[in-house]
A and B are shown apart, each in its own frame.
Chain A
C-alpha cells in the first residue's frame, strides 16, 4: 500500500487553506492534496498516495508506471474510492 499512483493535475484550487488539485488517473478524476508539492503546475504529473501528491514526475514515467499498476491490479484505491462516492 506504499505504491503511489501517477496522475495529471488538471486544475488547482484552495480548500480550508490547503492547496488542492483535481487530478486525473486514466480518466478518473479525484481531489488530491498538493500541499507537499507546492511548486506543482497544472498539466504536470504527480505521484499520489492516499489522496496526497508526494512527488512530481515526467509524463513518460507517469504513463509507464500507470500501465504497470494497471497490469498488477494495483489501482484498487482509485476504484474503491469511486465506488464509495457513487455508492
Chain B
C-alpha cells in the first residue's frame, strides 16, 4: 500500500478500511461524484484499501471534462474573431476541441489568456475598452457564484465590452441521469462536499427518496472518503436509504445563502449537453434574459456546430460508472493525456487522466501484476 503511506494519517485510514471490510457482506457499487475525490482516491489508493466485493466507480464530476465539443468549438470560433480577448481557467484552455485547444490559437495571433478569477476578466474588460473580453464560464455549482458575480459586476460597472460564454453544469440532474440509465450499477453515492458548500443538500433529498439510494455528503480527504464509504455500506447492508452529512464541519443543509442568491439572480436552469453523456434535461445554467447583454452566445453569432467524438472512446460509460478506465482498449495506447480521445482523459480530474497519472495503465486495477500494454 505504498500510496497510502504518503498520507499523514495512514493508520486511521487503515482502521477505517478494516471497519468497512467487517460490515461488507455483499457486493456493492458506490460512486464518488466529485473529480477532486476521484483524484484523491486514485492518488492514495483508497479503492485498493476496500474489500474485493466493494467497488468505487468514478462519476462525471469534472466540469472541464464534460464541456461539450460543440461548446469548445464555439469558444474556438469566438476566440478567433478580431478585437476579442478570450479568457478562462487554465485547465479549460488546454482541452483539445475539434480544431485544437484554445491556447494554441495564441500562436495564430489570437489573444487568449489564463485568468485565476472571473473578476480578473472583468478588470481586463475595464482596462481594454477597445477590445471585447469574453470569459468562458464553466464549472459546477461551486464555480457558479464566482461566474455570476463577474456578470453582475460587469453590469453594475456598465462594461458593455464584457460577456461570458456559459457552459455550467449541475450535479443532481447528472446523478438522476446515471440512476435512470440502462445498465446503471450505482447503488450509493458519495455526495460532492464542495458543491454542497454552496448549494446545501436539499436537492439531494428527493433523489434519496425517489431512487432509494443512500447519499453521504463527503469531503475529499482520505479519512472523509473512507468514512463516507463506511456510512454508505452500512446503509446498503441495512437496506436503508438516507441522506447523511458527516462533512458538517464545512457543509450546511442550506449551503451558502449569499452565494445562492447571486447565482439565482444571474443564472437560470436550462438543458445542457454533457460531453460523453449527451443531453441531460435541466442540468445546466444559462444567463437570465435580464443579463442577456452579457451573453456571448447572443452577442457572437456562431453557426450551429456539430462535432464528431472518437468512436474508440468509452468515456460516456466511464462517466456513468458503467466502465473503468483500464477496461477501454484505447486507454494508455491511442488515448493518453497528451492525445486524449475523450472527456475523461482531458483534465487531471477526469477518471482516465487520474488513472494514467498514477500509473494504472501499467497495472491491472486491483492486482500488482504488470500488464504493460504493447504498442
Contact = CB atoms under 8 A, between A and B. Distances in A.
Interface stretch (B141-149, B309-317, B336-344): B141-149
B63 A54 contact: no
A51 B123 CA distance: 13
Contacts of A64: 221
Q: Which 5 A-B pairs have the closest CB atoms?
A: A51-B117, A81-B116, A2-B142, A3-B36, A52-B146
Nearest to A15: B119
Nearest to A54: B197
Contacts of B139: 1-2, 50
Contacts of B142: 2, 4, 49, 54
B156 A50 contact: no
Most chain B CB within 10 A, of A4, A17, A37, is at A4
A26 interface: no
B120 interface: yes
Residue among B8, B139, B142, B156 facing the most chain A CB atoms (10 A cut-off): B142
Contacts of B6: 71
Contacts of B232: none
Interface residues of B, number: 49
B250 A57 contact: yes
Interface of A: 1-4, 16-18, 30, 33, 35-38, 47, 49-52, 54-55, 57-58, 61, 64-65, 67-68, 71-72, 74, 76-78, 80-81, 84
Contacts of B8: 67
Contact of B120 (A51, A65, A71, A78): A51
A80 B146 contact: no
B36 A2 contact: yes
Nearest to B138: A1
B196 to A, nearest CB: 10
A87 B68 CA distance: 31
B176 interface: no
Contact of B153 (A18, A38, A57): A18
Interface of B: 6-8, 34-36, 39-40, 43, 61-64, 89-91, 113-120, 139-140, 142-143, 145-146, 149, 153, 156-157, 192, 194-195, 197-198, 220-221, 249-250, 256, 258-259, 262, 347, 349
A58 B62 CA distance: 27
Nearest to B192: A2
A83 B169 CA distance: 29
A51 B39 contact: no
A33 B143 CA distance: 13
14 contacts: A1-B36, A1-B347, A2-B143, A33-B119, A47-B194, A47-B250, A49-B194, A52-B146, A52-B149, A54-B145, A55-B197, A57-B249, A61-B250, A72-B40
A75 to B, nearest CB: 12
A65 B221 contact: yes
Nearest to A49: B142
Contacts of B117: 33, 50-52, 81
Nearest to A55: B197
B43 A72 contact: yes
Given A16-B156, A52-B146, A1 B91 contact: yes
Contacts of B114: 80, 84
B274 to A, nearest CB: 16
B220 A3 contact: yes
A52 B145 contact: yes
Nearest to A80: B90
